[in-house]
Chains A and B, each alone.
Chain A
Amino acid sequence: MADTNPIKQFEIHEVFPFEAFGLNLAFTNSSFFMMLTAGLTIVLFTVAMSSRALVPNRAQSVAEIIYGFVADMVRSTAGQEGLRFFPFVFTLFIFILVANMLGMFPYFPAPGLHSFTITSHLIVTVALAMLVWLTVIVYGVFKNGAKFLRIFVPSGVPIFILPFVTLIEIISFVSRPISHSVRLFANMLAGHILLKVFAGFIVMMAAGSASMGWGELPGYIAGIFPFAMTLGLTALEFLVAFLQAYVFAILTCIYLNDALHPGH
């Protein structure tokens, strides 16, 4: 039955408990959707590329288009050397994209019976953003040594404002994982809440109409308006689901570019 609580979609349900190192590592519906994201990606790509035809069929075309899309993204923002991170960027992009798209199902044969958007939990996006941030630092220092520090000292800046610019650059670098993770998390969270709030209005209006003694029907008829809104927001959320995966991936490329070419 309809449930008007817009927060319910973010709830985590344990499927089977698992504890290690004194931590609660239970397999939950979140873990289930992570498994589904990875598994679906692997299965779909494997099936799509199974024929490896010279003239691709529809599925193979899509796989190749995604490949080309991410490869072009990496090449245009991080240069030819950036392609060494191509599998990493591709994995991030496709993981977030598929996870966001799976989150678009209102109901799902999963624990709790509701769909679950992995990226609507801050801890997940923070983990992914920190992974990118640490990769940039580790690879940047490994490849450039002390020259990596030049990312804080942009060239062509007048000497008297250089300390100020360097300070800004340091703050900007340190805050990267925050902005990187919160952007994705907040977009997914806010969008999904909005979607469920408007969908909930339909049920609420029916209940409100009933409590006024008019029966549920007038409420359901008036519910056309929040329903139209929900429809529009669903389309918007599909766009956001794709766009946030793209934004996360392209920001990853831009940050990796700093590790590859510091001091631009």
Chain B
Amino acid sequence: MTHAPHSEVAQHVADAAADHADSGVFPPFDPTYFASQLFWLAIFFVILYVALDRFILPKIKTTIEDRRDRIADDLDAAAQAKADAEAAGEAYEKSLAEARTKAHVIAADTRKALDAEIAKETAGVEAELSAKQNASEAAIRKAKDKAFAEVRGIAATATAAVVAALSGVEVSEADAGKTVDGLIKAKEA
């Protein structure tokens, strides 16, 4: 670089100035190639338009839409699954509540049935017992009456025997019995 002659760079500056002077017309305003630029612009712009419109843009569009549809589908499926899970949960809760209610009913029924049975059996046993008691009381009364009746007979016989032994008076047992009866009545009164 140090060896580069000073004149070379200076020459370039001069050339540049000369180029500028030579062309005369500022290139963007030079009409020489206006027709050429319009012609090739039309060709390549139309090629690009057709390629984009027919092939590239529809491809991007369907790709984006496919993705959007896919995401929407997946979200729908997820929402569906969630709804299903919630429904299953509700059904479970419901059946659990039903089972609980049923269990309560069964327990109550059983208790009622048992209560009824117990009451029935108790009543039966009580009836039996009272019947037996009544029968026993009747038997006792009967025995007592019988005993009393026998006691009167014995008393009458004994009285007649005592009277006969003491006084020698024969007293019929029937008279003696009347007397005993009168004594018993007096005693009872």
**A residues adjacent to B (C-beta < 8 A):** 1-5, 7-8, 10-12, 18, 23-28, 30-31, 34-35, 37-38, 41-42, 45-46, 49, 52, 54, 56, 60, 63-64, 67-68, 86-88, 90-91, 94-95, 118, 120-124, 127-128, 185, 189, 200, 203-204, 206-207, 210-211, 215-217
Contact = CB atoms under 8 A, between A and B. Distances in A.
B27 to A, nearest CB: 4
B77 to A, nearest CB: 16
Interface residues of B, number: 51
A90 B30 contact: no
Q: Interface SS of chain A: helix, strand, loop or mixed?
A: helix
A35 B37 contact: no
A3 B16 contact: yes
Given A7-B20, A34-B40, A185 B28 contact: yes
Nearest to B56: A45
Interface of B: 1-2, 4, 6, 9-10, 12-13, 15-17, 19-20, 23, 26-30, 32-45, 47-49, 51-53, 55-57, 59-64, 66-67, 70
A7 B63 contact: no
Given A38-B44, A42-B51, A90-B57, A203 B36 contact: no
Contacts of A204: 13
A49 B42 CA distance: 26
Q: Interface SS of chain B: helix, strand, loop or mixed?
A: helix
B64 A11 contact: no
B4 to A, nearest CB: 7
Contacts of B38: 123, 127
Nearest to B42: A127
A4 B45 CA distance: 33
Contacts of A8: 16, 19
A88 B9 CA distance: 48
B20 A5 contact: yes
A217 B1 CA distance: 9
B55 to A, nearest CB: 8
B9 A207 contact: yes
Contact of A211 (B10, B16, B26): B10
Contact of B48 (A5, A11, A41): A41
Given A12-B33, A25-B36, A38 B27 contact: no
Contacts of A35: 40, 44
B13 A207 contact: yes
Contact of A24 (B4, B35, B56, B64): B35
A177 B59 CA distance: 33
A101 to B, nearest CB: 15
Contact of A67 (B9, B55, B57): B57
A55 B158 CA distance: 134
A30 B28 contact: no
A87 B48 CA distance: 10
Contact of B37 (A4, A7, A123, A216): A123
25 contacts: A2-B9, A3-B16, A4-B16, A5-B16, A11-B27, A12-B37, A24-B35, A28-B36, A41-B48, A41-B52, A45-B52, A45-B56, A49-B59, A49-B60, A49-B63, A64-B63, A67-B60, A67-B64, A87-B57, A121-B28, A124-B37, A128-B45, A204-B13, A210-B10, A216-B2
